[in-house]
Amino acid sequence: MRRVVVTGMGAVTPLGETAAEFIQGLNRGISGVRALDTPWIGQLASPLAAPVLTAVESQFPKLRRLVLDRVAQLSLLATREALAQSGLDFRGETGTECGIFWGTGMGGAHTLEQAYSESLLHPGARPRPTTIVMFMANSSTGQIGIEYKIRGPSFTYSSACSSSAVAIGEAFTAVRSGRVRHAVAGGGEALLTHGVMKAWESLQTLARPDTLHPETSCRPFAKDRSGFILGEGAAALVLEDLESALARKVPILAELVGYGNTTDAGHITQPDAGGQGRAMQAALDQAGLKPGDIQHINAHGTGTLVGDVTETQAIKQVFGKWAERIPISATKALHGHLMGATGAVEMVAVLGALQQKVVPPTAHRYHPDPECDLDYVSEGARALEQLDIVMSNSFGFGGNNAVLIAKRFHP
């Protein structure tokens, strides 16, 4: 089996338009949560979301925009940054040695909602001819291949909140086995539409707004938590086998060493500590690591009443006596819940922590929950003397659990 390293990463998030801005924003405790000012926001119980503030559309020519939903635009920008950092250019024959592994929960939600709205409100209206190719789930995957001339195998994964973590894990598996030499892996999501936000609101999983400090409304692992804030964004990693990276003499950001994927097989929305624990254990086993080797965890940490307790229990089951010694961050408090993109975005967060030896905070946890009694880094970003092995958890509706482990690269 080949060793798999990361040579590029990119991110477009509510905290900035690059991976570096995202990591810096996390460490400074900056919240991307704000009130939306769209015409329909008054029809919702809460106006809060975590939008990308970057002028995304302006970065594409008008004709190109005609076939790109917002999720594809975000995905292309994140991929562009990751490929630029990696130094890979697939306009030649090397494109056949690269695969695309991309995750999304809903695909082109903006395009789909616009098509339904126009058709239902105006029966004589004709949807745009590009509607299908803009909202289909694999649209971003296809557009990445077109834009960057990647000609190897491509896959689109949709498993709710774990989608892009699964995509990275499967890319890791493909590079490790020699199926591809390089991989672009990650995910994108753009769900801040009237219909989608209304649907999430009806599920009663969205956080109640804090009237004095709305930017602090998402409070993972806190006693007064009430849910998550929907966000949008995209993140991409460039993975390749170690031999290729060394031959190209490019900086290596980290090494991926473990991936675990399990299914709860219990309830479509209620998480299961056993399923989550099996995914963490599977990642440890593949990496050949013991519980005491993990030095930081980026928790799924959505801020829901049931979810945070369940994840706490799962970590205790797997790590035993080591559980209380591991610094754990829940970054959704700051960047929102990016659904299908969240696993990739949080993988950028843990790689940033690995590089800087600084773990981001679990923000807004002013009142700790006694049932969530692990070290949830509530005081702000924390510098560590040693940080070499990190884990990222992603758990999705449908009962899919995906866990990734990375370590500092040593030749």
The answer to whether the CB of 168 falls within 8 A of the CB of 185 is yes
The answer to whether the CB of 33 falls within 8 A of the CB of 336 is yes
Catalytic, 367? Answer no
* pLDDT in single tens digits along all 411 residues of the chain: 999 999 999 999 999 999 999 999 999 999 999 999 999 999 999 999 999 999 999 999 999 999 999 999 999 999 999 999 999 998 876 789 999 999 999 999 999 999 999 888 888 888 889 999 999 999 999 999 999 999 999 999 999 999 999 999 999 999 999 999 999 999 999 999 999 999 999 999 999 999 999 999 999 999 999 999 999 999 999 999 999 999 999 999 999 999 999 999 999 999 999 999 999 999 999 999 999 999 999 999 999 999 999 999 999 999 999 999 999 999 999 999 999 999 999 999 999 999 999 999 999 999 999 999 999 999 999 999 999 999 999 999 999 999 999 999 998
Catalytic residue among 110, 182, 300, 364: 300
Say yes or no: 350 and 272 in one domain. Answer: yes
What's the pLDDT at 92? 73
Residue 121 falls within a domain, yes or no? yes
- The domain that holds 167 is classified in CATH as 3.40.47.10
Residue 303 falls within a domain, yes or no? yes
Question: How many domains does the chain fold into?
Answer: 2
Catalytic, 267? Answer no
Say yes or no: 371 and 283 in one domain. Answer: yes
Residue 253 falls within a domain, yes or no? no
Residue 105 falls within a domain, yes or no? yes
Q: Residue 77's domain spans which residues?
A: 4-248
Helices (H), 178-272: 194-202, 242-248
Number of Cβ within 10 Å of residue 84's Cβ equals 13
**Size of the chain in residues:** 411
Say yes or no: 217 and 311 in one domain. Answer: no
pTM for this one? 0.98
Say yes or no: 274 and 346 in one domain. Answer: yes
Closest CA to 229 of 10, 33, 11: 33
Catalytic residue among 98, 161, 218, 372: 161
Say yes or no: 72 and 177 in one domain. Answer: yes
Catalytic, 300? Answer yes
Say yes or no: 214 and 268 in one domain. Answer: no
> What percent of the residues of the chain are helix, what percent strand, and what percent coil, each to the nearest 5?
40, 20, 40
Say yes or no: 93 and 175 in one domain. Answer: yes
Domain end (from 194, 226, 248): 248
Say yes or no: 193 and 267 in one domain. Answer: no
Residue 254 falls within a domain, yes or no? no
Domain end (from 203, 222, 248): 248
Sign of CA dihedral 286, 275, 313, 303: positive
Say yes or no: 157 and 86 in one domain. Answer: yes
Closest CA to 397 of 200, 237, 245: 200
- State how far the Cα of 364 lies from the Cα of 215, in Å rounded to an integer: 9
Say yes or no: 84 and 21 in one domain. Answer: yes
Domain end (from 248, 275, 294): 248
Say yes or no: 203 and 322 in one domain. Answer: no
Residue 373 falls within a domain, yes or no? yes
Say yes or no: 78 and 53 in one domain. Answer: yes
